[in-house]
Every structure is written in structure tokens, then in C-alpha cells.
Amino acid sequence: MKGLWWKALTGVWTAVAVVVSIVYAPTSYGFTMHGNGAKILFFHVPCAWFACVGYIMGAVYGYKALRQMASTGWPSGAENDRKSAVSMELGLIFAVLATVSGSIFSRNEWGMYWSWDPRQTSILVVLLLFCAYLVLRGSLAASDIRARLCGGYALIAVVPAIFIIWVLPRVVETLHGGANQAVVGGGLTPAIRGVLYGCALPAFVGIYTWLFQLGVRAHRLVAPRSEVTEVTRA
Amino acid sequence: MPNLWTIAIVPLLVWAGVFAYLITIDMKIGRRERRTEDDDL
């Protein structure tokens, strides 16, 4: 297996991150379960971040695919189109995980699974944007037309996604006020920031990279041979 | 409030399952890739 060392490292690192996040991370004042209720954030926050990484990477690869197709025609953009599709698929998975873990946190801390908080609504809209991409992709059979339309969609969808994730929850009243501060550097103690950035985030980087690589390889296997070999020659 | 190790065991088991699944899929894809390369030759 290629890259066995970093895949094994991801496995061990993630197991250690789980233990550190739950058992050894300090408790947070003002949360339920004697301050342990906040620890789900070590999972929830990286999931939300990687949902964002998914749609940004999807747009970047979509743009690259469109540019290649515009200059040298199909199937020169096929590889980037596959990467764009995998990014959007991973974005959907991480958005679902962020939504589910966020709902559990919300039930625990605020008393309701769903309260139409601006940030909850924004992740739901992003989730629907990912779903729409996959529906569009699944509805088109011709590879070149699919790559053009999906690349264009990924590029256009990133604009409202950026607005509703990064701008909207900061300009209206939200239950996530503390989280907004945390992202810009305040609100978290150094110990919690250490666990989040030094432990949970690298584990998610490893998992995302692995899933991305697997996704691209799987897409390459089911693609027509002419598209794959053309790319290899180019 | 249960022991934190008791809580940690659940995500650890979930991760063990996911990790085993990823390794299996990785090996399966690797085998398919080798077979496709042989066919191309």
C-alpha cells in the first residue's frame, strides 16, 4: 500500500486525539456535564472547517478543470474535474457530521436540537449546495458536459457559501457568538486551543487527505480509459 | 457523570472501525489499479 506510514500515523494520531480531547483536555466553565459538554467542539469545529475546505477545493479544482478544457479541450480537465467532485463529496460528508454533532451540542447546552440559529441555518444551506452539486453531477451522462456544468456550479456556489458561513453569522445575533470570537483568536484558553490546533486538527488533515486520495483513485477507476490515459499522457 | 474513559471508548471503537474500513478500501482500490495497469500493458 502506497503511503502506509502516514496512513498508520493518521490512525494512531486520531486515536490519541480522541483520548486527549475527551479524557485529558481541560473542562470549560459554563458548560453542562461539569464543563465536559464543550469537548464535542474538538470534533464539531474541525468538521465544519473541513466542510469549508471541501467547497473551496471544489471551486479551485472546478476552475482549473474549466481553464484546461477551454485551452486544450476535453479530456484535459478530467483529472481536476474528478478532484472537484471528490472535494464536494467530502464537503457534504463533513457538513453532515458538523450538523449532527452541532445538534447534539445544541440539545445539551441550549435545550433544543435545532433552533434556526443563523449558523445552524448557514450549515444547512451549505449542505443543500453540496447536495445540489451531486444531483447535478448524477443527472448528466456525457463526461465533458458534466465537467463543464459542475465546474461552473462549484465556482459559482462558493460565493454564497463564503457569505453564509463567514459573513452572515457575524453580522446578526447568534447563539454561536463565542465561536465567532474563538475563530478570530479569542474565547479559547491556551490549553483548549492547543488540543484543537495541535491534536484534533492534524488528525482531521490526515483523514481528509486520505479520503480525498481514495476518492480520486476510485473515480479514476470507474472513468473511461480514454479520459484517464489522455491525462496521463498530458 | 460517568468515567471519561468510558465515554472515550465509544468514539475510539468507531474510529477503529472506520480505520479498518479505510485500509480495506485502500487495498481493494490498489488491487484494482494494478489489474487495470496490467490490462493496459
**pLDDT tens-digit series, residues B1-36:** 678 889 899 999 999 999 999 999 999 999 999 998
Specify whether the CB–CB gap between A230 and A75 falls below 8 A. yes
Instruction: Give the chain B residue whose CA is nearest to the CA of A17.
Output: B12
SS3 content of chain B, % helix, strand, coil (to 5): 90, 0, 10
Rounded alpha-carbon distances, angstroms, from residue A32 to A29, A155, A179, A196, B29: 9, 41, 17, 19, 44
pLDDT at A234 (0 to 100)? 47
pLDDT at A119 (0 to 100)? 85
pLDDT at A94 (0 to 100)? 96
Task: Report yes or no: B31 at the A interface, CB cutoff 8 Å.
Answer: no
Q: Which of A206, A221, A126, A112 lies closest to A164 in space, CA to CA?
A: A126
Specify whether the CB–CB gap between A174 and A180 falls below 8 A. yes
pLDDT at A160 (0 to 100)? 85
Q: What single-letter amino acid sits at A187?
A: G
| Among B1, B5, B19, beta carbon nearest to A23 | B5
Using DSSP's 3-state secondary structure scheme, residue A223 falls into coil
Nine-digit cell at A39?
A: 469537548
Model ipTM over 0.90 = yes
pLDDT at B38 (0 to 100)? 82
3-class DSSP string for A190-204: HHHHHHHHHHHHHHH
Specify whether the CB–CB gap between A66 and A137 falls below 8 A. no
CB contact under 8 A, B29 and A217: yes
pLDDT at A53 (0 to 100)? 95
Q: pLDDT below 50 — which residues of chain A?
A: 184-185, 234
Nine-digit cell at B36?
A: 487495470
CB contact under 8 A, A221 and B29: yes
Specify whether the CB–CB gap between A66 and A80 falls below 8 A. no
Chain A environment of B40 (Cβ under 8 Å): 225, 229
- Chain A residues within 8 A (CB-CB) of chain B? 1-2, 7, 11, 14-15, 18-19, 22-23, 33-34, 36, 43, 210-211, 214, 217-218, 221, 225, 229
| Among A7, A19, A33, beta carbon nearest to B8 | A19
pLDDT at A197 (0 to 100)? 93
| Among B12, B26, B30, beta carbon nearest to A18 | B12
Q: How far apart are CA A143 and CA A70, in angstroms?
A: 15
pLDDT at A181 (0 to 100)? 53
Q: Which of A166, A219, A184, A212 lies closest to A57 in space, CA to CA?
A: A212
Rounded alpha-carbon distances, angstroms, from residue A134 to A87, A97, A151, A219: 11, 17, 12, 14
pLDDT at A75 (0 to 100)? 83
DSSP string computed for A105-173: HHHHHHS-S----HHHHHHHHHHHHHHHHHHHHHH---HHHHHHHHHHHHHHHHHHHHIIIIIHHHHS-
Burial code (b: 16+ CB inside 10 Å, e: under 16) for A19-46 equals: bbbbeebeebeebeeeebbbbbbbbbbb
Task: Report yes or no: B22 at the A interface, CB cutoff 8 Å.
Answer: yes
Q: Which of A16, A18, A23, A93 to mutate to test the interface with B (most CBs of B within 10 A)?
A: A18
CB contact under 8 A, B7 and A22: yes
